[in-house]
Amino acid sequence: MSTLSTAPTAHPGTDRTLRRRRIRQTWGQPWLYLPLAGALLLMIAPFLWMLSGSFKPEADIRRVPPVLIPTAPTTANYGELFSTLDFTSMFANSVIVALAVTAGNLIFCSMLGYALAKLEFRGQRAVFLLVMGTLMIPGLVTFVPLYVLVSNMQLTGSLVGLILPFLAGPFGVFLMRQFISTLPDELIDAARVDGCRELAIFARIILPLTKPALATLGIITFLGSWNNFLWPLVVAQNESQYTLPVGLALASSGQSFTRFGILLAGAMVVLLPVMIVFLLFQRQFVAGIATTGLK
Amino acid sequence: MSTKTLPGWSDTHEQSTAGPQRSADRRYSGLRSTARGRQARAAWILAAPFLALFAAFMLLPVVWSLLMSLTDTKSADLRTPLNVSFTGLDTYVRLFQDDQFFTALRNTGVFVLVALPLTLAAGLAAAVALDRGIRRFRAVFRVGFYLPVITSIVAVAVVWKTLLEPRAGLVNLVLGWLGIDGPAWLADTRFALPVMIVMAVWRNLGTVMIIMLAGLQSVPQSLMEAAELDGAGPWQRFWRVTFPLLRPALLLTAVTTGIGYLQFFDEPFVMTGGGPLDSTLSATLYAYNQFGNGNYDMASAASYVIFVLIVALTVLQFRVLRDKD
């Protein structure tokens, strides 16, 4: 945008143009706030409805026409969620699966990403093309054989079956390789001259520098795993393995379907952890996309 | 090499003079090759864990799926997956004789053609407004627009179902204030697919916005100032300066969103189950239903057809949107 000192003005020095300039400098285009606020309201209306509904007593939920704010707010929905639906163990399962999948992707993808970006080896191009090519393959192509594979490995009865197939995804390799290619080669050459061993270069020099990319990949993987529901829905055999989305999906299609208050409270419980993760790390997340997604 | 210019080192005398040069070369390349060897060994050590998991849980299933589509694999063969008979392209023939599959393909086509441009336009507009239009409260808008992206589709489904309730829902309440009698959205064949499209745009415009914001920040400020000094208005500055520079970011989001949209599945799966009367049945949901019915061969064949469509759309987008130089 223009600055006071450099931009030519139609009426230099008059008070009104100066004031208008100052408003534009601090606020941008003032008229834009109204449509943007309207758009924001449309975007978050479902979340406000979710929040309000989760505190509504059952009588409020069935009211026609509906009420926007609960007449007698109650936490009964949340209480029932944890006492009858065993949301505590589902919550723990979701955390375990998401952390394991995230750790796997951070480790394995950064290792291969470094090898592809900075090391020379025969077959490098073939490995790169092979891994990237699978980014276009629909999830359902691998779904059926994966199901046959995992059930024949007797893994459908444990959390391992929910973790193992997702430990190493192609997207992470793409992201890490893109980021590591932007690091200067001189860094690695200097370490080699100093007698640093190849694997130590990766662990001690490269890895600490990839923190922004690791943060981005970590958040994306954690969110994806936390929200993943089709695979655990199909694979999880008993209630002790259910993750939060599975529990919520089954509750909403079962007989408790009409208890909307409990379901909305469940939706809040599914959303809150990822919202907190996102709010805490959104700066790194956006910066990570800026440096990795576009080179 | 400077030695080449010396007499006696030219190509015609190679036989007689190559001796010392060769051995020096060999010694040099010997040193290089041990360094190279160390590098290659490290590379394979680093690559091995990923590639092992990748081979087992990606490559094997991809090939297996193709083989399944060429056999008569059913759920009864779950424990003995190798004990099936080869049937060639028979599964694909049956797939293309199924009217329901064409319905699913048509719904998917309508969904992609409408939702993809809408999502890209909405995400781009949001990014430009946040980056160029306003200066305060940017983070609030950014988080608000991005919130649907990080929300579990199951949670989304629960909320949208209650929002769209014909009598007790918020949507028809607001329409009622405007004097409009809202329909039973999800039970009406005319409205169910448009609802899925609106949901998809709502869920995905945040992704486009974030990538476009990153792209906009890489447009040099000096370029914009130069254009302004040359007398270009805001509209011209956007279309002549910013937009061409955003082309790579736009291509990236168009391709990734397109790949996701051709696999359109979540919304109908959790909201309508493909109904009413197959009006929201997508190609991927069709394949999943075949899996659910135990027809692993049909499920695999349908997945492969979707894969081919994804490759075709991706190639097309690269042709249309890549830099024209």
- Give residue-wise pLDDT tens across range A94-144: 999 999 999 999 999 999 999 999 998 898 999 999 998 888 888 888 888
Tell me if chain A has a CB within 8 Å of the CB of B263. Answer: yes
Q: Rounded to whole angstroms, how far apart are CA atoms A122 and A231?
A: 36
Is residue A84 assigned to a domain? no
The more confident residue out of B40 and A5 is B40
The CA distance from B288 to B97, in Å, is 18
Environment class of B239 (CB within 10 Å of its CB; exposed 0-12, middle 13-18, buried 19+): exposed
A166 within some domain: yes
Are residues A178 and A61 located together in one domain of the fold? no
Q: How confident is the model at residue A3 (pLDDT cuts 50, 70, 90)?
A: very low
B contact residues 86-105, partner A, Cβ 8 Å cutoff: none
User: Which of A285-294, B8-17, B160-169 is least confident?
Assistant: B8-17
Residue A149 placed within a domain: yes
**Cα atoms found within 13 Å of the Cα of residue A267, Cβ hemisphere only:** 31
Tell the burial category of A124 from Cβ atoms under 10 Å away from its Cβ (0-12, 13-18, 19+).
middle
* Residues of chain B found within 8 Å of residue A268, distances taken between Cβ atoms: 155
Among residues A169, A185, A126, A160, the alpha carbon closest in space to that of A241 is found at A160
Average pLDDT of chain A?
A: 83
Considering only CB atoms, B143 lies closest to which of A29, A50, A282, namely A282
Neighbouring CB atoms inside 10 A of B229's CB total 12
How many residues are present in chain B?
325
| Residues A63 and A122 both lie in one domain | no
In the predicted model, what is the mean pLDDT of residues B63-67? 89
Same domain, A170 and A284: yes
Q: Which of A28, A45, A286 sits opposite B210 (nearest CB)?
A: A286
pLDDT of res. A258 = 61
The alpha carbon of residue B22 is apart from the nearest alpha carbon of chain A, in Å, by: 24
A59 has a chain B CB within 8 A of its CB: no
Q: Which residues contact B157 (CB under 8 A, 6 or more apart)?
A: A249, A252, B267, B270, B271
Whether the pLDDT of residue B10 is over 50: the answer is: no
Q: Which of residues 231-250 of B touch A (CB under 8 A)?
A: 248-249
Residues in chain A, total = 295
**Inside any domain, residue A86:** no
What is the span of the domain harbouring residue A50? 28-74
- Please check whether residue A5 touches B, CB under 8 A: no
* Confidence (pLDDT) at B7: 39
Nearest CA in chain A to B169: A66
Lowest mean pLDDT among A174-188, A203-217, B185-199, B309-323: B309-323
Which of A18-22, A198-202, B38-42 has the least mean pLDDT? A18-22
Q: Do the beta carbons of residue A173 and residue A110 sit within 8 Å?
A: no
- Measured between beta carbons, the chain B residues lying within 8 angstroms of A45 are 163, 170
Domain count, chain A: 2
Our CA angle for A4, A7, A11, nearest 5°, is 85
Distance from CA of B169 to the nearest CA of A (A): 7
Residue B90 identity: D
Report the candidate in B55, B296, B286, B69 with the shortest Cα–Cα distance to residue A151. Answer: B296
Residues A101 and A70 in one domain: no
Q: pLDDT band at B18, cuts 50/70/90?
A: very low
* B window 210-229, beta carbon within 8 A of A: 210-211, 213-215, 217-218, 224-225, 228-229
Residue A283 is which amino acid?
R
Residue B289 in tokens: 């239903």
B311/A136 CB distance under 8 A: yes
Question: What three-state secondary structure class fits B311?
Answer: helix
Q: Are A149 and A189 within one domain?
A: yes
Burial of residue A209, with CB atoms counted within 10 A of its CB: 0-12 exposed, 13-18 middle, 19 or more buried: middle
Tell me whether the omega of the peptide bond preceding residue A232 falls within 30 degrees of 0, making it cis.
Answer: no
Contact B105, B280 (CB under 8 A): no
Nearest to A137 by CA among B214, B287, B59: B59
Interface test with A, best of B29, B31, B46 (most A CBs within 10 A): B46
Question: How much is the average pLDDT of A245-250?
Answer: 85
- Supply the pLDDT for residue A128: 93
CATH number of this structure's domain B99-321:
1.10.3720.10
Mean pLDDT confidence for B212-218: 82
SS (H, E, C) B56-97: HHHHHHHHHHHHHHCECCCHHHCCCCCCCCECCCHHHHHHHC
Region B268-295 average pLDDT? 87
A198: Cβ contacts below 8 Å, ≥ 6 apart: A119, B38, B39, B41, B42
Which amino acid, residue B258? G
Residues A110, A205 contacting (CB under 8 angstroms): no
Residue A61 has pLDDT above 80, yes or no: no
Alpha-carbon distance A229 to A35, whole Å? 35
pLDDT at B27 over 60: no
Question: What single letter denotes the amino acid at residue A157?
Answer: G
Share above pLDDT 90 across residues of chain A, in percent, rounded to a whole number: 21
> Is 50 exceeded by the pLDDT of residue A295?
no
Q: Please name the residue of chain A whose CA is at the shortest distance from the CA of residue B251.
A: A294
Among A46, A138, A149, select the one facing B310 at the smallest CB separation.
A138
Mean pLDDT of B188-208: 91
Strand ranges for A142-257 from DSSP E: none
Listed by number, the residues of chain A in 70-129 with a beta carbon closer than 8 Å to a beta carbon of chain B are: 104, 107-109, 111-112, 114-116, 119-122, 124, 127
For residues B70-77, give the mean pLDDT: 80
Output B16 or B43, whichever has higher pLDDT.
B43
Q: Is the residue at A126 inside a domain?
A: yes
Tokens of A187: 């860094």
**Between residues 277 and 296 of chain B, which touch chain A (CB distance below 8 Å)?**
284, 287-288, 291, 296
Specify if A257 maps to a domain: no
| Statement: residue A4 has pLDDT above 60 | no
In a domain, A18, yes or no: no
What is the enclosing helix (H) or strand (E) of A139? helix A139-152
Rounded mean pLDDT of A170-177? 90
Mean pLDDT of chain B: 82
Instruction: Work out the average pLDDT over A283-290.
Output: 71
Which of A41, A74, A107 is the C-terminal boundary of a domain? A74
pLDDT at A73 over 60: yes
Residue B254 in 3-state DSSP?
helix
Let me know whether A107 and A229 are in one domain: yes
Please answer yes or no on whether B159 and A151 come within 8 Å at the CB atom. no
Tokens coding A112: 């291969």
Q: A186 with A284, same domain?
A: yes
Q: How far apart are CA B31 and CA A249, in angstroms?
A: 61
Q: What is the largest CA-CA distance in chain B?
A: 100
The per-residue pLDDT for B4 is 39
With contact defined as beta carbons under 8 Å apart, do A185 and A177 qualify? Answer: no
Instruction: Return the CA Rg of chain B.
Output: 29
Q: What is the pLDDT of residues B141-162, one digit of tens each?
A: 888 899 998 898 888 988 998 8
Cβ–Cβ < 8 Å for A212, A289: no
Query: Do A54 and A102 share a domain, yes or no?
Result: no
Q: In the structure, what pLDDT confidence band is assigned to residue B210 with cuts at 50, 70 and 90?
A: confident
Chain A residues with CB under 8 Å of B62 CB are 134, 137, 141-142, 145
Q: Which amino acid is at B194?
A: P
- Using the beta-carbon criterion (under 8 Å), do A43 and B159 form an inter-chain contact? no
Q: Which of A23-32, B201-210, B247-256 has the lowest mean pLDDT?
A: A23-32
HSE on the CB side for A90, CA within 13 Å? 28
Distance CA B210, CA A220 (A): 13
Once rounded to an integer, what is the mean pLDDT over residues B84-98? Answer: 84
Residue A64 lies in a domain: yes
From B28, B172, B44, B225, select the one nearest A122 (Cα to Cα): B44
- Interface check for A43 against chain B (CB to CB < 8 A): the answer is yes
Contacts of B265 in chain A (CB under 8 A): 140, 230
**Interface check A67 vs B, CB under 8 A:** no
In whole angstroms, what is the distance from residue A252 CA to residue A270 CA? 14
Q: What angle do CA A270, A275, A279 make, to 5 degrees?
A: 165
Q: Which of A22-36, B43-57, B235-249 has the lowest mean pLDDT?
A: A22-36
CATH number at A169 reads 1.10.3720.10
- Here the ipTM equals 0.82
What is d(CA A286, CA B209) in angstroms, rounded to the nearest whole number?
11
Q: Give me the helix-helix angle, B296-321 and B60-69, nearest 10°.
A: 120
Cα–Cα dist A101/A95, whole Å: 10
For the purposes of burial, counting CB atoms within 10 Å of the CB of B272, is it exposed (0-12), middle (13-18) or buried (19 or more)? buried
Contact B148 A43 (CB under 8 A): yes
- Are A158 and A226 members of one domain? yes
pLDDT (0 to 100) of residue A237: 79
CA distance A137 to A124: 21
- Asked if the bond preceding A8 is cis, omega within 30° of 0, the reply is no
pLDDT tens, B246-269?
888 888 888 888 888 998 888 888
Same domain, A66 and A106: no
Same domain, A50 and A126: no
Do residue A51 and residue A151 come from a single domain? no
